[in-house]
Amino acid sequence: MRVGILPLMIALLLLSTAIPSYALAPLYEFNFSTGIRTRCLLFGEMEIRGYLSGKNIPLDFIPINPIYFVGTPYPEFNSIIASLVNRSYLSAIPLYSKGLVTSACEDVYVINISDGSVQNFENVEIHTNNMPVAIMSDEADLHFTKNISYGILTFIKMQMNGEDVDGILLLSDDDLNVEAKNGSFYAIVPLSTAYDTGEEGYAYILNKNGDKVWEGGAGDWVIVVNVNTLPAELLPSVNVIIFGGIEKFGVNVKKSNREANIMSLLSEIPEKFMSNGGRVMGSPFNFPDKYAFLLGDVLNGAVLLFNSTDEFFVGSESRNFSEFGLIRFDSGGFDIKKSYGYISTKGEGKAYLIFSGDEIYSDVELLPVGRFSLPLHPLALWILAIAFFLLFSVILKRKGERKIAGRFPLDIKDDYRKWIKYTFIGIYVVLFIATFFVFDIALNEIFGVSFVSFLSRSLLLSAVVLLSEVVFIAIAFLMFGFPIRIIVNSFLGFLGFEREKREIGKTVGLLFMWFLFPPYITFISNAFIGIIKDILSGMLP
């Protein structure tokens, strides 16, 4: 007896410590495509694929006459200028950023618009500060060369010089590493040379020793870089990139390990991108500052959809969003295309939570009973529990000293009974405590909330989450733990473990709760969907 039970004890103890380290919540394969009305926002760690192609703009955007500069003392510069003489347009990528910093450039020319002079610098870095600029060339593509540890990304339509243009709005505390490619040279031009941007920034150039060798204000210069690829960093936290087209463009998103302050990022968005054609999401979410971290936890590895009635699929099952959608995922891939004059997003991945605006998706099998639908598996388990109880505790119950089938109940020595009883008491205590952490992990994966992570940030929210977990644990006990205990207790009592069955039954019941209940968290949550919708209606525009 001891040889058979000891491995079981060890296995249960190892399981109680190993299970919380794995994802317990179910994952649902999803995919969707957005329509013309839908606004899509991505949140999390990002890998940006593909590139943005420049927007064709008239050559006279640069307020210089190329013919005037053909005869300078700089042959390479003259060659670049000569290539512009017969062109009517350039490919441009306008950038709205707090700052741009290029890598060291071997050959740089600065044109002074006021007096027509040209200066040449070698092995220098170009810096801009609070100055919207355009990177221009005969052909210009912008590639993203480094992952973003946490970002918010969306596409916007805005007005630039009286014209509707498409752009990417990217919020992050990371520097944004980019490369301009496909050009034979690159001109960095202040947007203020063409129209009033409302910004009064400046630019400067540093040599390899870090000394400032040139500085200029807005609107009186053009910098020409004689290079085929121009690496640069865009400084945090708000970057808007205007483009003409998107080529094989996509974003891979997953949950970030960084703690994000979404409210701080949203507050940095300039008003011109928050209204009219550049409307992103209305005013920032109406969320108390002291609870802003909650928004960052929920919107981490997530996609938000506004004004959406788009169709989405979970496996082969089709449903529709109802104006709003939230998907929290383990990982997701989002392909971006421009067609018929609007930007569309095709997303797919594996999600912990899919909120369609009306309800949370759940694949729990239901049995219609009159006007109600009951979860099939717990109902079947309760029927099985009642059958076990009747069979082993009533029908096969021993009468007197006579054994059933000549063997049952088994004869078990008292020292073994004590060992079994107290061993399972110890295991049960460990598993009971671990149950709170198991459910905490499940709720963290599904909803992004955790009483453990909230302890150091808000005792009130931590208590609310813990109370919610107690409710879920109680429901899990009624649905799975209690009927499993009845099954185990009835069978073990028949075998002869009359005094030990309670501890064994409670332990086995807890383990079954761990494995069977997590898919029902979203099902039970739909009972509170009205409360959730009331909360969201106060947060969203």
CB contact burial 400-413 (16+ within 10 A = b; e otherwise): eeeeeeeeeeeebe
Higher pLDDT, 61 or 489: 489
Indicate if the pLDDT at residue 532 is higher than 70. no
Q: What is the pLDDT of residue 14?
A: 54
Higher pLDDT, 176 or 288: 176
Q: Is the peptide bond before 236 cis (omega within 30 degrees of 0)?
A: no
DSSP state of 370: T
DSSP element (H, E) containing 514: helix 501-516
Cα atoms in the Cβ-side hemisphere of radius 13 Å centred on 346 = 8
Three state DSSP letters for 262-296: HHHHHHCCCHHHCCHHHCCCCCCCCCCHHHHHHHH
Q: What is the pLDDT of residue 94?
A: 94
DSSP element (H, E) containing 54: none
Characterize the bridge pairing of strands 133-137 and 186-190: antiparallel
Q: Which residue has the tokens 């928004």?
A: 295
Indicate if the pLDDT at residue 378 is higher than 60. yes
Instruction: Report the amino acid identity of residue 460.
Output: L
Higher pLDDT, 407 or 34: 34
Least confident piece of the model among 51-65, 319-333, 501-515: 51-65
Model confidence pLDDT, tens digit, residues 175-218: 999 999 999 999 999 987 666 666 678 999 999 999 999 999 87
Decide if 130 contacts 98 (C-beta within 8 A): yes
Residue from 451, 156, 149 nearest 300 by CA:
149
CB contact burial 312-343 (16+ within 10 A = b; e otherwise): bebeeeebebeebbbbbbebbbbbbbbeeeeb
**What band does 24 get if pLDDT is binned at 50, 70 and 90?**
confident
Indicate if the pLDDT at residue 280 is higher than 60. no
**What band does 267 get if pLDDT is binned at 50, 70 and 90?**
confident
Decide if 309 contacts 323 (C-beta within 8 A): yes
Give CA angle at 266 (262, 272), nearest 5°.
170
Characterize the bridge pairing of strands 317-320 and 311-314: antiparallel
Model confidence pLDDT, tens digit, residues 454-488: 998 889 999 999 999 999 999 999 999 999 999 99
Residue from 523, 534, 486, 217 nearest 366 by CA:
523
Higher pLDDT, 313 or 366: 313
Residues in the chain: 541
Give the Cα separation of 46 and 530 in Å (integer).
33
Q: What is the pLDDT of residue 306?
A: 93
Higher pLDDT, 279 or 333: 333
Q: What is the pLDDT of residue 440?
A: 92
Give the Cα separation of 121 and 105 in Å (integer).
9
**What band does 113 get if pLDDT is binned at 50, 70 and 90?**
confident
Indicate if the pLDDT at residue 10 is higher than 70. no
The reported pTM is 0.87
Residue from 158, 102, 525, 111 nearest 355 by CA:
525
Give the Cα separation of 124 and 126 in Å (integer).
7
Burial class (CB in 10 A: 0-12, 13-18, 19+), 10: exposed
Q: What is the pLDDT of residue 59?
A: 82
Model confidence pLDDT, tens digit, residues 145-180: 999 999 999 999 888 777 889 999 999 999 999 999
> What is the dihedral angle through the alpha carbons of 296, 149, 234, 126, rounded to the nearest 10 degrees?
140
Indicate if the pLDDT at residue 49 is higher than 90. yes
Structure tokens given for 364: 């729990």
